[in-house]
Homo-oligomer: A and B are copies of this chain.
Amino acid sequence: MEKWRSSQRILRNYTKTLISHRFNTNHNNSPNISSSGKQGFYTNSYDLRDYRGRSSTTVNQNCRNLQYRLFGSTTFEVQRNPSFATLNSEDVNRFKEMLGEKNVIEDEDRLATANIDWMRKYKGFSKLLLQPKSTQEVSEILKYCNSRCLAVVPQGGNTGLVGGSVPVFDEVIINIGSMNNIISLDKVSGILVCEAGCILENLDSFLLNEGFIMPLDLGAKGSCQIGGNVSTNAGGLRYVRYGSLHGSILGLEVVQANGTVLDMLGTIRKDSTGYDLKQLFIGSEGSLGIITKVSILTPPRLSSTNLAFLACKDFFSCQKLLSESKRKLGEVLSAFEFLDNQSMDMVLTYLDGVRNPLPPSVHNFYVLIETTGSNETHDKEKLEAFLLHSMESGLISDGVVAQDINQASSFWRIREGITEALMKAGAVYKYDLSLPVEKMYNLVEKMRIRLGQRAKVLGYGHLGDANLHLNISTPEF
């Protein structure tokens, strides 16, 4: 315990009293740190849902009424706002009339899954999960909840890492997963219209046959839903090539908290009529309404993909390699990811069957460069010439190009497996930061000096988009 408390002291400027009481099985209203290693943590992001009032309230036996969270250097008690109603059997019956019995979930096992996030760090106490099948049903649910003052939390694939998709107290969970129909695809322009509950990977598979791809790709693609991707303004691996969802989303259908349906489901490439209100819903995490349909521009699927796994001696070389690749690989560059050797060690230690494709040596950084283009020969030539030049100029100390799809998958497994490895290693403090590339890694180094032997500090992420994942791993919180 001493070690843990020491690290807590060192970390206090960053995580002071971030500990929530949600995982503590004994009721305890004091803000003291519990001895359990399984507590939930809040990130210091600002939560937009207004459910968390600050007026005092009593502890409820059915759900926690009190949480602690940090804004800047100040700790707030976050209490269940007593002006919100508590679910009763009449409410449940009304929902059953609206949605049919089987779409109103009270089963404890199924609720347990929906009440907890993928990382098992955040846990809510919802007693009800609703599965609407149409925009109309979402509208009816919200209208009713609004009239009854019942709090809700929208949930997509529940793959987020910051607790945004699980309840805090006893909110009704509205899961959009049953709304998973593809509505249309314009095969000339690549404009796809679908319901918000479509799983990202399913959309990509559908598009594969039609000659298009989704403009975004992320590790959680097998479970995450497009509505959640849009609500959280998800970035991911293709961002460097296809850019932000603010550019690719052409239209949205959204249901506001009072049940009003906003039809902003444009399906044209350019629309400069009036204010572009749909933009406000991209990244607003459900706080302005629940996204029910999405219209998105999908780029054509190109025939040739190549992947190189490279080693660099320092972060400056990674930066320089990025600048050079943007110029020399230019139009074919489709991903530029990096990880430090601490991230590599983590993956090699905790994931079965993963190996470093480069011979054992002291490499400080690893870079994945993916190219996607329309001509295999051209793309290979470009990549090989670029790698040769980078090797000669000393930017790369070692490297290997995937010879087939299996090898490419094994390279991606290293980068995409870091989160899973971190989970297996114990407790993890996750930070997702946008910074100027040249200053990005300073933060990791400073944190490493601060923490010394007490924790492992990992830096990896989307270097091509100046997006760092700073992760701090300790045996327990």
Contact = CB atoms under 8 A, between A and B. Distances in A.
Contacts of A270: 235, 239, 244, 434, 462, 465-467
A44 to B, nearest CB: 12
Given A330-B302, A330-B373, A188 B244 contact: no
B246 A279 contact: yes
A331 B239 CA distance: 15
Nearest to A467: B270
A233 B188 contact: no
Contact of A284 (B233, B275, B467): B275
A302 B438 CA distance: 23
A247 B240 CA distance: 12
A332 interface: yes
A186 interface: yes
Interface string A445-477: 000000000000000001001110000000000
A360 interface: no
Contact of A247 (B247, B273, B331, B438): B247
A187 interface: yes
A340 to B, nearest CB: 19
A393 interface: no
Contact of A271 (B276, B434, B462): B434
Nearest to A266: B434
A6 interface: no
Given A189-B436, A322-B188, A327 B374 contact: yes
A313 interface: no
A232 interface: yes
A378 interface: yes
* Size range of the chain A interface in the assembly: 35 or more
A406 to B, nearest CB: 25
Contacts of A232: 272
Contacts of A284: 275
Interface string A208-244: 0001000000000000000000001101000100011
Interface string A29-53: 0000000000000000110100000
A248 interface: yes
Given A188-B437, A378-B375, A465 B269 contact: yes
Contacts of A373: 330-331
Contacts of A276: 233, 246, 279-280, 282-283
A11 interface: no
A413 interface: no
A268 B435 contact: yes
A399 interface: no
Interface in A258-276: 267-276
Interface in A44-78: 45-46, 48
Contact of A189 (B48, B275, B374, B437): B437
Interface string A71-112: 000000000000000000000000000000000000000000
A363 interface: no
Contacts of A323: 187-188
Given A188-B438, A276-B283, A434-B270, A381 B378 contact: yes
A329 interface: yes
B186 A436 contact: yes
A165 interface: no
A276 B246 CA distance: 9
A326 interface: yes
A300 B332 CA distance: 12
22 contacts: A45-B273, A187-B323, A211-B327, A232-B272, A235-B270, A239-B270, A243-B248, A246-B246, A267-B436, A268-B436, A269-B466, A270-B462, A271-B434, A276-B280, A279-B279, A300-B327, A300-B330, A330-B374, A332-B374, A375-B381, A378-B378, A378-B381
Q: Which 7 A-B pairs have the closest CB atoms?
A: A247-B247, A279-B279, A330-B374, A331-B331, A268-B434, A378-B378, A243-B247
